[in-house]
Structure 1
Amino acid sequence: MDNIFGISMQSIMLALLIAFGLCLGVGGWIYLRQRIIFRMGIRNARRRPAQTSLIVIGLMLSTLIIAAALTTGDTLNYSVKATVLDVLQHTDELVVPVNGDDAEPNAQQSVTFPQQVAADLQAALADDPVIDGLMPVLAQPVPILNPKTQLSEPMVTAVGIDPAVLDPFGGLRDLEGNDIDLTALPEGAVVLGKTAAERIDAGIGDTLTVYIKNQPHDITVAAIAPDSILTGMQDLGQAGGFVMTLDRAQALLELPDQISFIAVSNAGGVEAGAEATDAAVAAIEAALGDAPYGAVRVKQRALNTAEEGANVFTSIFLVLGLFSIAAGILLIFLIFVLLAAERKPEMGMARAVGMKRRQLTEMFLAEGIAYDLVSALIGSALGVGVAFVIAGVMGRLVGDFFTIVPTAHWRSLVVAYSLGVVVTFVTIAISSWRISRLNIVRAIRDIPEPQRQRAGNRWLIFGILGVVLGALLMWVGADSEKLFPYSIGISVLPLSLAAALRRFGLPARPLYTVASLFVLAYWLLPDSIHQKIFPVLTGGMEMFFVSGIMMVAAATMAIIWNAEIGTTLVGLFGRTFSRWLPAVKTAVAYPLASKGRTGMTIAMFSLIVFSLVMMATIDHNFTRIFSGEEAAAGWDITATRVMNDPMPPFDQALAESGVDTSRVTATGRVRQVASYDSQIRLAGTEEWKRYTINGADASFIEHSHAPLSIRATGYDSDAAVWEALRQNPDLAVIDSVALPGPTVQIGSAANFFLQGVQPGDTTMEPIQVEIGDPVSGQTRTVTIIGVINPTVSVLYGLYVNDEAFDQVFAQPTQTMYYVQTQAGTDNVAFAKEIKAKLIAYGVQAESLEKLIEQGTGVARGFLMLVEGFMALGLVVGIAALGVIAFRSVVERRQQIGMLRAIGYSRAMVGASFLIESTMITVLGVGSGTILGLILSRNLMTSDEFTGSSGAAASFLVPWGTIALFVGIALVAALVMAYIPARKAASVPIADALRYE
């Protein structure tokens, strides 16, 4: 992986290595200049191995998350690139017909041109050092049937190549690596690709039937070869095909002297050849001159798409992993706060005998660096292990498209380790500085700092700075219409204002309560109310993290400053269980006396559970919405045909082939041009974009049940829009992917966006766009009058009627027939029947319900994978509880002795610790669950997500999944608290009282 977040990984690594060197430099400086201080810090790390191990576990989690995300990106990048190189081999560019302004050329199915073009180009580039081979190739889709197994594939690619120019392309080999001589094969013999052989269960020597212009022809399998462009595998997930010599393919396909593209091999080999693409394309275009042909950067484009896909996936993991990283940072602060609390008398004595604050900070830094270097190393190693587990899960999800090969790149590991060290070091440095600011007398006597009615001037200064910063961010966000700075500003401002007002003696509880409730109201107000109060701004995926951080911070503040209400409940509880009342009161009082550490622990659990609840709820509702009744637009079966050979009307073809058409209630046809084969741009603009374009017949428009999320003014119903589209070739509707927003798009397969309309709008002004065919050069202006609701998941692209489509496009990329069936029909079986009966026409039929289930299954698989990755954050919370529980026993050893001396039994002491841990966990888990459910409900029922249809009005909660997360957290809390609680209860009274 070479880039992430648009920044070069090489630059990131160098910057982090410099920062890592500075961290080591600080440690080295302390060792050289303050060797005794350094040894005192290191001694503390060696004193208690068990607790040191727990601290290292807590510190390593941030590095683990980073390493896992980066290694996952490396795995995806390597796996897709390896598959691309295996398929393309030495083929770096393709020369194809092209026309149209600014058209990006692309190979098109069934489009052929004279073979003489290849001969002329070979002569022109014979002496070019950049290009070491050109080969004319004929590649056409055909249906194939294995009579022995009765398995068929409606579309494989019949390939013809010229063996005389095959050597620069690496030759042709079978699965065992043996060379294959195509010229030595008998008449009618072919080399079958590996995937095609598996799909129809064919072996060497089998006789297969292919259909050319609807007529059967027999071919014999002479050998089976790995999938590549030479054996018909032109895209990941396809069935591949078979290969023979070019002259035999031209005769079989009845295309004499015709080819589909010219394959070009650059000098430098399989991988390095792509680096010469720019020079090769320049040479090809110079040789072609004004001829209507162009070079497709097929390998470069595929490798770039692989890189972009890996970057997007890594970015998603990193953004979602920020919750766990933030929890890990809180844990680091918490660890050092607890260490300071335990060593408070020791630090006071050190200050009393002459140690300066700076030296106290250096001592903690030395100890922290020791933890840091070890924990980051362990985190990096475990992160690789987690990434390999993720790779195994992804392999099962996308195994039909490419093979996932777990890969760890040294550069990513250096970045993960260095970043983990730097983040942890900075956190330790800040907490160490904060720890060193203590009162010597109070520290020696181990008494708390007095509670002041008025805050110090520092609170006033920081509060004013926060107010100014918040106001500035709000202004920047409103001016740029960006939600990210505005939301941070409006969240920071009230909290900073409350901090500043404390300087003037105002009570803290009402100040922070009002401020935190305002922040929660901003984030949790329903969308309909929110838009009336606050400006409508745009945001992306980063808002998921920002919302979690801000809401959890506000909710935690409200809980901590109002937790005294719990003492009242404890009193009521004690009336019934008076025996345990002292233990319960002790369990409640201690956390309230340390609001900072208690708040950090609650925030850790709340952050993690919030993110998990959000993802689980979105997953649950996503499945329901996008696989609901509207998903198939009222159709039951889709039959796809890629070939352009003559075929009777679909209804007639069904009847003539013997299909029982009594089960069919309606059919419709959509001819589709894929995004790479089409052009689109807003009227009045110059640059062409890419988008899928569909031509729908009258029957499809009439019988579809596809609600619209946005209608143009002048149309009072969805039916009016569709009827206008049926009658008027100047009109169009489009899917919601064209709306501007945080849609993740990889490559340039769909890069067109509308202007003047936003997600959540219900009406729009008609928008004129120009569509074009890059091959024929024909264009037409149409007016978009509606946006299809995203709940209709089977319809994608721009839709015009048949008349408009015929005027622009010479031929479709594929033709799709839609079938409505009678109630009670087994659509899976009926689709198989249609596929079997129409095999001669190359028709691939599938049940739409099955396709939607498969599609949402893959999406849900990835969402569950992300949930599992985010669930690593629970380890942070569990580690936090362990750290708190173990350190609390050490810190409060004398207090335990006093409690035992005044009459607390061992059971009461142990119960006090258990109740304390459970209470903190319940508050954090409850806060995160409630916040996650409210925000996810607002999201899933908002117009931006469901459009104007209200499809998600019945919001569903995945109670089972949430109960699992909550159960894990609570059980972990009890387990992690039980051991130290039992240890605390067993401390002898005399030993505890004289403990130092």
Structure 2
Amino acid sequence: MDVPEMALFAVVVGIVLAGLLLAARPLLARLAARNIRRRTTRVVIVILGLLVGTAVISSSLVVGDTLSYIFLEDVYVRLGAVDEIVSNEFGGQLFSFAETNLTQIRADLATAKSPVDGIAPTLLKVMPVRNVGGNKGNQQITIMGLNASYEGAFGPLTTRDGRSLDTGALRPDDVFANARAAADLNATPGQNLTLFYGTTNQTLVHVIVADIVRDEGTASYERRPILFMDLRRAQSAFSENGSINLIRVSNVGGVVEGVAFSDQVTQDLRLSIASHRLIGLRVQDAKANGIAQAVQIGRAATELFLVMGAFGILAGILLIVNIFVMLAEERKPELGIARAVGFLRRDLLTAFALEGTFYAIVAAAVGALAGLGLGYVMIYFFDRLVPHGDVVVTFHFDPTSVITAFVAGTSLTWVTILLASWRVSRLNIVRAIRDLPEPATPERSRDILIGGLLVTLAGLALTAWGFLMDTGIGKIPGPPVFAVGLGVMAASWGRARIALTLASFFNLAWILTPVGLLNQRTDNVSVAFVMTGIILVGSGILIAVFNVSEVLRALLRRASRGAGRPVLTTAVSYPTEKRFRTGMTVAMFALILFMVTLISMVQGLQASSLDTFVRQQSGGYDVIAYTTSYGEIPNFRQMLQQNFSDRLFLGGWNGVSSASVLPAKIQSVGGNRSYDYTLWGVDNFLLRSNGYGFTRFLPSYVNESTGLREELTSRESVWLSLRYNHTLAIVDRSAAGPNEFVPDESRLRVIPGDSIRAFDAAGRVVNLTIVGVLEQALQFTSGVFVDQDVVRAVFPAQERYTAYFFQMDPTADVGAFRADLERVFFPYGLQTIDIREE
């Protein structure tokens, strides 16, 4: 039995016990029922107030369910029958390997009786494709070479009219296009397509669209636009004879059920690879990892909405307390008479609890259903307002979530009602009948003292645990709880105002003092956020409630001779006399306003810092362009000057820079762990014109051309040091340690002067020394920066991308320039990014 079922069982037991109590004490049942029937309008108001918390919980869980379902379905659509993938991948690039490896792996899986029903070779390439007849092209079309004899477990390719196809029936120059590729290329059966393979030494491949297949199964792989070729034809066209770069594995069972065998199949695949020493091949548990990520997204969404709604839930709890306190105050004479004719305190408690049970069950049930509606509305606007590409947004909820919300709402309401009922039942008969306030008694002072002592001990325990275990979950609330406990103890001796005011000021100082209380590695930030908000709001409320009387007296003295004194006196008499109720009411509004204010403030900060953020991230550049295939565009500057005017760029042609980009592994010298990084080889224009600054750098370096040591005094001199010393490198901010924007996620950690080595899949190595650490953890250009000649000298062109940076003239039309740039360099797959838009 899992936790939701256990909680539901507990609630059902509670309802059964309430029913037995109704049968055993019919007089109390009639008393509770009479109060419900007598005030139907108030009952509706009470239920509406009570369902708020349940609705917030229900909607948060339902949104999480929907997002999990959306991304889970996306995993099934993207991968189809594929459960595991075997590839030789390095830095995001697929390297080819011998097709004979597939035969060895298949034989090993059969010997191990691994639960697989399909294993297929694939040659996968991404390149620009142009449809001249359709007057359209796309820089990132995936070409998939398949062997039809291995595709049985992955399902056939299906045409729009339902016919099954396979690549074995294709003629040498034919391809199948999935619906997504056909739309991107405006292609129809019979049209000719041109494939631009490679960048530096480009190969043109001409093919004919034989048919168009639905985007399902293999044809929906990773939601890519795909052209399907026979494997042998693809190997010949792209000079990959006898090679593949991907092995797809399907487990026994369907698209959904097969993932249950992923652990076993993954282990068998890795044992096979290790036994044959197939160096470079790696197994990806693709579907299981995708499912885990989808579930995590749902949990994160649920947590986010629960945190956002936590203050609403707490306000709902305060509303429940307030409602029942007011009900009790209203019925105080009636309750006093009931006590006078023989009712015991436990009878009053039982009667209130029975009435509250009705409210709790009805409000929780209605709130859970209302949460469904609220969740649907949120998903509706998510679908309309948030870009989500081809992912289909479908409202979905797990019945367990609705049950959980019902249980949580019922439990919260029950606990709150029982506490309020216990407070109400402790009344004096004579004073209740005459509707007089309860006096302070030694017993009540003793209870307050004991309660304060318990709170103090709890705060002390939280504080000790927080500092011993280095967790903010203890350090943040511990001292404030301790201070409030001391204040409550002092209140038992008649010093409530001074003690609780001082405790509240201490709490505000404790939270607002810029001291790091949170452990960023282990603490739940959402829980800490809620605790901080409650402490801030609660402390402010206590200060206001216990000092409002003094402020109002001062106002009354100033208005002593005014005509409005009677009105003012009447207006302020109730808040000052009913402190508890006033505090509860103010706290409800304060919690909601706190959340609204915080959200507005965050939005304002984001808007005000956008220009600064863009300026820091862009380094002064407006457009970044990059090739989608490896290699360098030949004669790039010559083609640029032939097709564009230098007036488009800030500073003319000096406003255009380039970088050779290499996915590489970075390792600290002396360390044994490597990290995936991007190695940027930047040209002389980029070194001189970029605006990226440094958080720290070396004081000097040795100029290799002169042999002299030169001082580093400015941002420009640090960048230029890469040109004059090819052993130097610059690293982005993420390598300098965690901060509020860069979490500690087991990253490379270096400082200026440290030595690192960068290497590729073939073992080519360059040794470098860090000369500076950037101020930014750059979104568009994160990684390690060296002079372009270093990358070109050590690493071959087929391993490198090329990126280009443009500083645009303020009068230039950036959109038109991007479109023209992509058109001119289409055969090389050049794509552009407007940094401000991103």
What CA deviation, in whole Å up to 9, does each residue of 1:814-838 have, x standing for no partner?
Answer: 5432222223222221111111110
Pick closer, same or farther for the CA change 1:36–1:824 going to 2, 3 Å. Answer: same
User: Aligned pair 1:264/2:262, yes or no?
Assistant: no
Pick closer, same or farther for the CA change 1:699–1:274 going to 2, 3 Å. Answer: farther
Cα distance in 1, alignment partners of residues 5 and 670 from structure 2: 45
SS in 2 for 1:269: coil
For 2:376, the equivalent position in structure 1 comes to: 388
What CA deviation, in whole Å up to 9, does each residue of 1:305-327 have, x standing for no partner?
Answer: 11122212211112222111111
Pick closer, same or farther for the CA change 1:29–1:823 going to 2, 3 Å. Answer: same
SS in 1 for 2:732: strand
The 10-residue stretch of structure 1 (584-593 or 200-209) with the greater mean CA deviation from structure 2: 200-209
For 1:839, the equivalent position in structure 2 comes to: 826
For 1:62, the equivalent position in structure 2 comes to: 53
User: Aligned pair 1:634/2:620, yes or no?
Assistant: yes
User: Aligned pair 1:342/2:327, yes or no?
Assistant: no
For 1:615, the equivalent position in structure 2 comes to: 599
Q: Which amino acid aligns with 2:593?
A: V
- Which residues of 2 match residues 540-559 of structure 1 at below 5 A? 540-559=525-544
Q: Which amino acid aligns with 1:593?
A: E
Pick closer, same or farther for the CA change 1:460–1:225 going to 2, 3 Å. Answer: same
Cα distance in 2, alignment partners of residues 712 and 114 from structure 1: 47
Cα distance in 2, alignment partners of residues 827 and 514 from structure 1: 60
SS in 1 for 2:780: coil
Cα distance in 2, alignment partners of residues 30 and 519 from structure 1: 44
Pick closer, same or farther for the CA change 1:14–1:755 going to 2, 3 Å. Answer: farther
Cα distance in 1, alignment partners of residues 698 and 492 from structure 2: 56
Cα distance in 2, alignment partners of residues 809 and 593 from structure 1: 81
For 1:79, the equivalent position in structure 2 comes to: 70
User: Aligned pair 1:644/2:642, yes or no?
Assistant: no
Cα distance in 2, alignment partners of residues 728 and 785 from structure 1: 11
User: Aligned pair 1:776/2:762, yes or no?
Assistant: yes
Cα distance in 1, alignment partners of residues 161 and 733 from structure 2: 47
Cα distance in 1, alignment partners of residues 93 and 763 from structure 2: 17
SS in 2 for 1:821: coil
Q: Which amino acid aligns with 1:637?
A: V
For 1:282, the equivalent position in structure 2 comes to: 267
User: Aligned pair 1:44/2:35, yes or no?
Assistant: yes
What CA deviation, in whole Å up to 9, does each residue of 1:186-239 have, x standing for no partner?
Answer: 4433222333333344444444332123454443333333446844743x6xx5
Match of 2:587 among 578, 597, 603: 603
Pick closer, same or farther for the CA change 1:475–1:684 going to 2, 3 Å. Answer: farther
What CA deviation, in whole Å up to 9, does each residue of 1:634-690 have, x standing for no partner?
Answer: 11111122211452264345346x23345343333445566xxx6566666655565
Could you tell me which runs of 5 or more consecutive residues in structure 2 were left unpaired when the two chains were aligned. 701-711
Q: Which amino acid aligns with 2:552?
A: G
For 1:986, the equivalent position in structure 2 comes to: none
Pick closer, same or farther for the CA change 1:705–1:348 going to 2, 3 Å. Answer: same
For 1:408, the equivalent position in structure 2 comes to: 397
SS in 2 for 1:849: coil
Cα distance in 1, alignment partners of residues 645 and 218 from structure 2: 40
User: Aligned pair 1:589/2:573, yes or no?
Assistant: yes
What CA deviation, in whole Å up to 9, does each residue of 1:33-78 have, x standing for no partner?
Answer: 4332233223322322221111111111111111111111111111
Match of 1:458 among 426, 442, 447: 447
- Cα offset for 1:157? 0.9
Contact 1:142 1:157 in 2 (8 A): yes
For 1:857, the equivalent position in structure 2 comes to: none
User: Aligned pair 1:435/2:433, yes or no?
Assistant: no
Pick closer, same or farther for the CA change 1:725–1:521 going to 2, 3 Å. Answer: farther
SS in 2 for 1:376: helix
Cα distance in 2, alignment partners of residues 789 and 334 from structure 1: 52
User: Aligned pair 1:663/2:648, yes or no?
Assistant: yes
User: Aligned pair 1:703/2:701, yes or no?
Assistant: no
Pick closer, same or farther for the CA change 1:490–1:225 going to 2, 3 Å. Answer: farther
Cα distance in 1, alignment partners of residues 123 and 594 from structure 2: 56
User: Aligned pair 1:796/2:782, yes or no?
Assistant: yes
Cα distance in 2, alignment partners of residues 305 and 716 from structure 1: 46
Pick closer, same or farther for the CA change 1:215–1:803 going to 2, 3 Å. Answer: closer
- Which residues of 2 match residues 758-907 of structure 1 at below 5 A? 773=760, 775-776=761-762, 788-789=774-775, 793-797=779-783, 799=785, 802=788, 814-851=801-838
Cα distance in 1, alignment partners of residues 44 and 822 from structure 2: 62
Pick closer, same or farther for the CA change 1:672–1:413 going to 2, 3 Å. Answer: farther
- Cα offset for 1:544? 2.1
Cα distance in 2, alignment partners of residues 482 and 783 from structure 1: 37
For 2:609, the equivalent position in structure 1 comes to: 625
Pick closer, same or farther for the CA change 1:609–1:673 going to 2, 3 Å. Answer: farther
- Cα offset for 1:723? 4.8
Pick closer, same or farther for the CA change 1:708–1:202 going to 2, 3 Å. Answer: farther
Match of 1:424 among 413, 423, 441: 413
Pick closer, same or farther for the CA change 1:14–1:776 going to 2, 3 Å. Answer: farther
The 10-residue stretch of structure 1 (397-406 or 62-71) with the greater mean CA deviation from structure 2: 397-406
Pick closer, same or farther for the CA change 1:513–1:11 going to 2, 3 Å. Answer: same
| Count of equivalent residues | 807
Pick closer, same or farther for the CA change 1:477–1:649 going to 2, 3 Å. Answer: farther
- Cα offset for 1:521? 2.9
Q: Which amino acid aligns with 1:49?
A: T
Pick closer, same or farther for the CA change 1:43–1:769 going to 2, 3 Å. Answer: farther
SS in 1 for 2:811: coil
- Which residues of 2 match residues 131-530 of structure 1 at below 5 A? 131-148=116-133, 150-213=135-198, 214-227=202-215, 230-231=218-219, 233-234=221-222, 239-288=224-273, 289=275, 290-292=277-279, 293-396=281-384, 397-400=386-389, 402-450=391-439, 456-506=445-495, 508-525=496-513, 530=514
SS in 2 for 1:846: strand
Contact 1:109 1:813 in 2 (8 A): no
Q: Which amino acid aligns with 1:383?
A: G
- Cα offset for 1:555? 0.7
What CA deviation, in whole Å up to 9, does each residue of 1:260-292 have, x standing for no partner?
Answer: 211111111111111111221222233332112
**What TM-score do the two structures reach when normalised by structure 1?**
0.74
- Cα offset for 1:796? 3.4
The 10-residue stretch of structure 1 (476-485 or 608-617) with the greater mean CA deviation from structure 2: 476-485
**Root mean square deviation, CA, Å:** 3.4
- Cα offset for 1:408? 0.7
Cα distance in 1, alignment partners of residues 403 and 424 from structure 2: 31
Contact 1:71 1:384 in 2 (8 A): yes
Cα distance in 1, alignment partners of residues 443 and 349 from structure 2: 28
Contact 2:677 2:784 in 1 (8 A): yes
Pick closer, same or farther for the CA change 1:445–1:204 going to 2, 3 Å. Answer: farther
- Cα offset for 1:552? 0.5
SS in 1 for 2:81: coil
Cα distance in 2, alignment partners of residues 152 and 302 from structure 1: 31
What CA deviation, in whole Å up to 9, does each residue of 1:735-754 have, x standing for no partner?
Answer: 44984468799xxxx94336
- Which residues of 2 match residues 77-116 of structure 1 at below 5 A? 77-97=68-88, 108-116=92-100
Q: Which amino acid aligns with 2:33?
A: I
Contact 2:460 2:478 in 1 (8 A): yes
Pick closer, same or farther for the CA change 1:205–1:61 going to 2, 3 Å. Answer: farther
Match of 1:654 among 616, 636, 640: 640
Cα distance in 1, alignment partners of residues 188 and 498 from structure 2: 79
Contact 1:139 1:232 in 2 (8 A): no
Pick closer, same or farther for the CA change 1:33–1:808 going to 2, 3 Å. Answer: farther
Q: Which amino acid aligns with 1:734?
A: D
- Cα offset for 1:114? 2.3
- Which residues of 2 match residues 568-583 of structure 1 at below 5 A? 568-569=554-555, 578=563, 582-583=566-567
Cα distance in 2, alignment partners of residues 566 and 170 from structure 1: 79
Contact 2:81 2:217 in 1 (8 A): no
For 1:944, the equivalent position in structure 2 comes to: none
